[in-house]
Structures are given as structure tokens and as C-alpha cells.
Amino acid sequence: MQGRKLAGVLTAAIMLAISGLATTTAASAAVFELTNNACSGGATIALCYQGSNLAGVLGSWELEGEQSITAKSGTVNLSVPSLETLGIQCSESTSGTSEPVILQHTPLGVNLTTIEGGTLTVKGCHFTSNALDVENCTVPATNTTKILLGELESTTDVLLTPESGTTFIEFEVKNKETLKCGAALLGNLHIKGTQLVTILNAGTPELTKPALSATLSGLIYGELNEAELEGTITVSFTGLEDLVFLTSES
């Protein structure tokens, strides 16, 4: 069995959105229990680990319980294709003020593996257009999503949904210094709906995996305008360094 340490990486890369996460100490973090149960056969999708089990036998084994995760990404782009001038770029995303926890109490059993209570903070944000309707406007450099829930929809997809209400993230639009922003944009810019995240190489046992936010996957600006959230995020298991993969064997 490999030793455990901080920042072993979530090979499932289960969040974007994109899904942001407060850094905690190892003492306060939830960490999966490594079991001697073979990872084979089941009714749902689950995370398993590959290596030596508690008895020293090599193979693929079930992970059980709860697991804290953290996340970090590079550039994140938010755009509304039907409104060419409305685009926001953020230089990075990091753990927010709420740390998500993966719940997997019955691996490959009747209960779905889910993620609860996570937020993502985007930093270095600014409008990407100099068009007249936004050139006098500004958004805060740092913004945080609402608390999000995640559910594995397949071995490659995680759906992120606001824990309450419909707002995914919002940006407060203000005047840029002494300039006057258009009245139509001033105030809170709400992005609502859900975001699908695609896990890369989900079935390969690894310590690190990125995940891609799928474009046009359910986010809306206004009443009818589809919104795109693009970025790649790497999600880490806090306090776990085992090789993890996703499976749905049945």
C-alpha cells in the first residue's frame, strides 16, 4: 500500500467548473477508506484504486466513504455566443470558500457517487471585448460560484448543479472608474443552469487527470441565451495518493 500524503490527485478530475474548493489541513479533510473488496461488478459508477490492498495483494479495489477534494485550473472563458460582445476571461480558478466532498458509501452499489458542497473561485477576471456596450464596464477580478452539487452521469461525465436556486455564478458589473457603463449591463450578470464536465482518461489508474468543461451544456444568460464556460481543471484528492480510476463494471 502506498503511503498517504497531501495533494494526491483525483484521477477522476471530478469538477470544473469547473468546482472550487477550500484548502483544508489533512486533519480536517475527509479521506476515503481503502478496502480489500475487489472492484468488479456493480449497479452504479464508482471510484476504485489500483495497487496493493490492505493485505498486500495487487489488484483493483474499492474506495469507500467520503473524500475531500481540491481543484485548480488555468484560463477560464465565459461567453454568450449570441451576444458577441459579452465575454469574460479569468486567468485562473482555484478552491473557493467551500470544500466539496465526494460521497461513496456503497461503492458500485445502489447509491450514486456524488459530490456535495463545493465552490470554485475564478480570479483575474475581465471583459474580453472593447465594444461600446462593455468598454466602460468592469467586473470584479475575483468571483465565486454558488455552492454546487455534482453527480456522475457516466464514467466520463459529471453534471454540476447549483445546490439551491438556479444561479451558477454571477458577476457584478460596475462603471469603469469615471466612465459610464450602459444601463443594460449595470448590476448583477447572472449565469444560470447546469454545467457538464468531461473527465479525461477516466478509466486509466493515475494520480492526476484534467477535466474539460463541456460547451453549451446547460448554462443560460438571460432568458434564452446559451452561455459557454470553457476551461480545464485538475482536481486533487486531499490526503490520498493512490492510483484512482472510474468504473461501472456490471
pLDDT at residue 27 in the model:
43
pLDDT at residue 249 in the model:
62
Confidence grade of residue 182 (pLDDT, cut at 50, 70, 90): confident
pLDDT digits (tens, 9 = 90+) for 9-31: 233 333 333 333 333 334 478 99
Element (H, E) at 171: strand 167-175
pTM: 0.83
pLDDT at residue 25 in the model:
39
pLDDT at residue 134 in the model:
87
Averaged pLDDT, 37-61: 92
- Mean per-residue pLDDT over the chain, rounded: 83
pLDDT(219) > 70: yes
The residue among 238, 239, 243, 235 whose CA lies nearest residue 204 is 243
C-alpha cell at 57: 495483494
Going by the DSSP 8-state scheme, the letter that residue 174 receives in this structure is E
Q: Which of 48-62, 120-134, 183-197 has the lowest mean pLDDT?
A: 120-134
pLDDT digits (tens, 9 = 90+) for 136-176: 999 999 999 999 999 988 888 999 999 999 999 999 999 99
Whole-number percent of the chain with pLDDT over 70: 87
pLDDT at residue 196 in the model:
92
pLDDT at residue 8 in the model:
28
Do residues 48 and 107 lie in contact, with contact meaning Cβ atoms separated by under 8 Å?
yes
Whole-number percent of the chain with pLDDT over 90: 52
CA distance 67 to 10: 10
Averaged pLDDT, 216-225: 86
pLDDT digits (tens, 9 = 90+) for 83-106: 877 899 999 998 777 778 999 999
Cell 465526494 sits on residue = 102
pLDDT digits (tens, 9 = 90+) for 31-43: 999 999 999 878 8
DSSP string computed for 107-150: TTSSSPPEEEEE-EEEES-EE----TTTTTEE--S-EEPPPEEE
CA distance 228 to 209: 22
Confidence grade of residue 112 (pLDDT, cut at 50, 70, 90): confident
